[in-house]
Amino acid sequence: MQRTVTITDSATGKTVELPVREGTAGPPVVDIANLYRELGMFTYDPGFLSTASCASQIAFIDGDEGILLYRGYPIEQLAEKSNFLEVACLLLYGELPTAGQLRQFEERIRHHTMIHESLRDFFKGFYHDAHPMATMVGVVGSLSAFYHDSLDIHNPEHRETAALRMIAKMPTIAAASYKHSIGEPQIYPKNDLSYAGNLLHMMFSVPSEDYEVDPVAEKALDLIFMMHADHEQNASTSTVRLAGSSQANPFACIASGIAALWGPAHGGANEAVLNMLSEIGTADNIPKYIARAKDKQDPFRLMGFGHRVYKNYDPRARIIRQACHDLLAKLGAANDPFFELALALEEFALKDDYFIEKKLYPNVDFYSGLIYKALGIPTNMFTVMFAIARTVGWVAQWMEMMAEPRQRIGRPRQLYVGKAQRDYPA
C-alpha cells in the first residue's frame, strides 16, 4: 500500500494526501510536487533544513550515526583501501573499476592535464595578490570559452569528456593560480606522477631545480581528496545542479560551484580555521574565544566546528584527525606551538557544555587545514585544495542530473513579504 501523509488546511478544511517515497537508506520523503496544484500552497523551508532537492544514487550521509557512503561504500573502507582516482571512478560510474578500467580512466585523466596555451595567459590578467579562489572562479569559468568539441550537453559522451577534462585540469589551474600569486612561472604537468603528486610538482617545483615529490605529502593529499570528493547535496553541489538545470555550459556550472564553496561556512572554513588559530594566538586565550563563540551578540563562530548534517561526529574528521596526528608525528611537528594550540582548542570545545548540547564537533576542515599547513601549503590555497577534490562530486552529480529523462530547470518558490501591489504616484 502506498504510504501517504495527509495535510489539512485549517482555514478551508481542504485535505490533500501526499505520497511518501522511500529511499535505500535515510528518512523517507513526502512528495509535495502536486501540493500547489491540489492546495494552492508552497512549502517554506529556508536553508533547506527538511527539503530533499533531488533523488541521487551517489552519496549517502547519516548525520546521527556519523555515516558517509560513496555509492554504498563506507568512507572508512575507502580511506583504508582505495585512492582518489579510484574513488573518482566509483563516484562517476557507480561501481569500483577493475584494474584495467582504472588504468584506462587514469590514462584518460592524464591525457587532459594540460590547459590550452591561451588559457595560461589569463592568469597574467589577475592582480598578483588576487586570492587563488578568485582566480579559480575566473579561469574555470573561462574554460567554457574553449573545448567546444565537448559542449553538446545532450550527448552523454560529450558530458563525460567535459567531466574528465575538469577533473584533469583542476590541479593544473590551481597550481597556476598559486604560482601567479607568488610570481613564479607556471609549471607544466608531469604525467608520470600521481594525481596528488602532479599537483605538488606543479605547485612547488621551479624550472631551475629538480624536484622530488614527498611520498608522505602525496599520500596525505590523496587521503584528504578522497574525504572531500563528494558530500551529496551541500551548498556548492546544489549550486552546480541548479546552474546545470538550466542546461548551462558545464565548465561555467563548476565555476559557480567553486564560488559557492569559497564561503567560510562551507569550503572556506579550512582557511578560516587557520586564520582563527592565528588570531587566538596562545592557549590561554581559548576561554575568551569560546565565550565569544557562545555570545549571540558576537558574530564570531568557532571555525571548523559544527555541521548541518553531522550531529554526532563527522566520519571524515575522525579519519583525518588520525592522519593529522600521524603526519605531525612523522614530520616531527607534533610539538609545534600552533598544532598544540589547535589540539588544546579541540579538547576545550569538546568538554564545553554549549558545544556538547548543540552537538558541535570538529568537522573535516578543522583537521584538513592543519594537514595542509604541515605540508607547507599556503593558507590561501586550502579552499582551492577542497575545490580540486570536490570537482569529482560536482561533475558526478551534474552527470547524474543531466542523464535524468525528466530533468527540469530548478526553480524554487518564495514567500513574498514585500509591499502589496500599489500605484505609482500620479
Active site residues: 307, 365
Stretch near ligand CMC under the rule CB under 6 A, chosen from 101-109, 125-133, 252-260, 261-269: 261-269
- Give the number of C-alpha atoms closer than 13 A to the C-alpha of residue 13, restricted to the C-beta side: 0
Stretch near ligand CMC under the rule CB under 6 A, chosen from 64-72, 74-82, 362-370, 402-410: 362-370
Stretch near ligand CMC under the rule CB under 6 A, chosen from 15-23, 107-115, 334-342, 358-366: 358-366
Buried b or exposed e, range 347-380, using 16+ CB within 10 angstroms: ebbeebeebeeeebbbbbbbbbbbbbbbbebbbb
226 contributes a contact to ligand CMC by CB under 6 A = no
Kindly state the smallest distance separating residue 408's Cβ from ligand CMC, in Å.
27
Q: How far apart are CA 189 and CA 83, in angstroms?
A: 20
292: its cell numbers: 565569544
Kindly state the smallest distance separating residue 45's Cβ from ligand CMC, in Å.
12
Kindly state the smallest distance separating residue 307's Cβ from ligand CMC, in Å.
5
Which residue in the set 112, 158, 308, 325 belongs to the binding site for ligand CMC (CB under 6 A)? 308
Give the contacts of 185 (CB within 8 A, at least 6 positions apart): 179, 206, 207
Q: How far apart are CA 219 and CA 221, in angstroms?
A: 5
Which residue in the block uniquely carries the three cell numbers 567560510?
Answer: 264
Q: How far apart are CA 422 and CA 46, in angstroms?
A: 27
Quick one: 132 or 304, whose CB is closer to ligand CMC?
304
315 contributes a contact to ligand CMC by CB under 6 A = no
Residue 360 sits at the vertex; the CA angle it makes with 25 and 339, to the nearest 5 degrees, is: 115
Bridge partners for 29 per DSSP = 21
Quick one: 107 or 279, whose CB is closer to ligand CMC?
279
Stretch near ligand CMC under the rule CB under 6 A, chosen from 11-19, 158-166, 305-313, 333-341: 305-313
302 contributes a contact to ligand CMC by CB under 6 A = yes
Give the contacts of 345 (CB within 8 A, at least 6 positions apart): 277, 280, 283, 286, 289, 302
Kindly state the smallest distance separating residue 379's Cβ from ligand CMC, in Å.
15
Spatial contact of 169 and 179, defined as CB atoms under 8 Å apart: no
Amino acid letter, 213: V
307 contributes a contact to ligand CMC by CB under 6 A = yes
Q: How far apart are CA 34 and CA 13, in angstroms?
A: 18
Kindly state the smallest distance separating residue 241's Cβ from ligand CMC, in Å.
16
178 contributes a contact to ligand CMC by CB under 6 A = no
DSSP secondary structure letter of residue 296: T
269 contributes a contact to ligand CMC by CB under 6 A = yes
Quick one: 345 or 375, whose CB is closer to ligand CMC?
345
66 contributes a contact to ligand CMC by CB under 6 A = no
Which residue in the set 169, 180, 201, 266 belongs to the binding site for ligand CMC (CB under 6 A)? 266
239 contributes a contact to ligand CMC by CB under 6 A = no
Spatial contact of 397 and 91, defined as CB atoms under 8 Å apart: no
Instruction: Please identify the residue of the shown chain whose CB is closest to the bound ligand CMC.
Output: 306
Sign of the four-CA dihedral 401, 406, 408, 411: negative
Bridge partners for 305 per DSSP = 362
Which residue in the set 204, 305, 367, 372 belongs to the binding site for ligand CMC (CB under 6 A)? 305
By CB under 6 A, name the binding residues for ligand CMC: 231, 234, 265-267, 269, 293, 301-308, 358, 360, 363-365
